[in-house]
Amino acid sequence: MPPPAPLTRGRGPGTVEHMIQVRGLTKRYGGKAAVDDLTFTVRPGVVTGFLGPNGAGKSTTMRLILGLEGATSGTATVNGRPYREHTAPLREAGALLEARAVHPGRSAFHHLLALAQTAGIGTERVHEIIDAVGLRDVARKPAKRFSLGMSQRLGIATALLGDPRTIILDEPLNGLDTEGIRWVRQLLRDLAAEGRTVFVSSHLMSEMALTAERLVVIGRGKLIADTGTAEFIARAARNVARVRTSEPERLAALLTGPDVEVQSNDGALSVAGLTTDQIGVIAARAQITLWELAAERASLEDAFMDLTRDAVEYSAGGAR
């Protein structure tokens, strides 16, 4: 496929009204709360990542925000009002919740054209969006012949068809190749830089670390964190150092303390609970030669696993 063309029209900065606001949002199915008293705000100008383990309630929350399901209690507004109350919803917020939600016999062009006609959007915008997401060569093919990656591109095109202020994307990176992932990463940054509100969920922690400036993290339907990405990582991080030495067993015996953990890994020691300075002093006093002593920076994945450990709905057991 050809490379995507520029997608947006350079809209001016968003205002405080151009945001997603969730207040006390709850959704129960029988006696189970899929979403439990959630309160957070997604503001314009930054990419906000939406994270949580499988079954945490992310997709349900997005459906509630878009009015596709009714809340048991609480409210969710998009750009100042419930999404259903907007007279031109596609121009207010665009969403991708399910990439395959297209009639299998309909082409990308006719899928977008039908949506455009219902919203008073011109055919020129349809052609513009098709070029922007790199689907020009397959625009007339039926959707049933699309790969998952092509379907994701069509879903993103659908979300941006109305040139909306607010964009909500649920797992937009699924099925994309490396080029596609890099394109989405830059697209999200560009949309936020234009002052739009960008709310995106993903299980790819490495991408969220590169793209999202803020995070909303939930588990079992409850809010775990609503903070900056750097702050989230720092909150869960511990002092961890990698140490290589000629005398690993002797050094390990000297590295003690109430919160100190020492593990052997690939011929090196992984030491939690002591700084590199502290380790260096202990080794010097014992006249132990160090070949390597380096602090290991915590990753978003490390922080996520640490802070959501007690909120995992489905976890794999040991091998049987």
The domain of 286 spans: 238-296
Any domain includes 110:
yes
For residues 32 and 164, membership in a common domain is answered with yes
Tell me the per-residue pLDDT of 34-52, one tens digit each, with 9 for 90 and over.
999 999 999 999 999 999 9
* CATH classification at residue 173: 3.40.50.300
Closest CA to 215 of 236, 196, 201: 201
For residues 26 and 162, membership in a common domain is answered with yes
* CATH classification at residue 269: 3.30.70
Any domain includes 317:
no
Any domain includes 12:
no
Q: Which of 170, 191, 226 is the endpoint of a domain?
A: 226
For residues 160 and 284, membership in a common domain is answered with no
Q: Which of 195, 226, 257 is the endpoint of a domain?
A: 226
For residues 63 and 177, membership in a common domain is answered with yes
Any domain includes 307:
no
β-bridge mates for residue 198, sequence order: 47, 167
For residues 242 and 222, membership in a common domain is answered with no
For residues 201 and 155, membership in a common domain is answered with yes
Any domain includes 4:
no
Any domain includes 123:
yes
For residues 157 and 218, membership in a common domain is answered with yes
For residues 184 and 286, membership in a common domain is answered with no
Tell me the per-residue pLDDT of 193-204, one tens digit each, with 9 for 90 and over.
999 999 999 988
Residue 244 has pLDDT above 70, yes or no: yes
Any domain includes 15:
no
Domain count for the chain, please give it.
2
For residues 211 and 253, membership in a common domain is answered with no
Tell me the per-residue pLDDT of 213-241, one tens digit each, with 9 for 90 and over.
999 999 999 999 999 998 888 776 566 89
Q: Which of 226, 253, 285 is the endpoint of a domain?
A: 226
Any domain includes 13:
no
Model pLDDT, residue 13: 45
What pTM did the predictor assign? Answer: 0.80
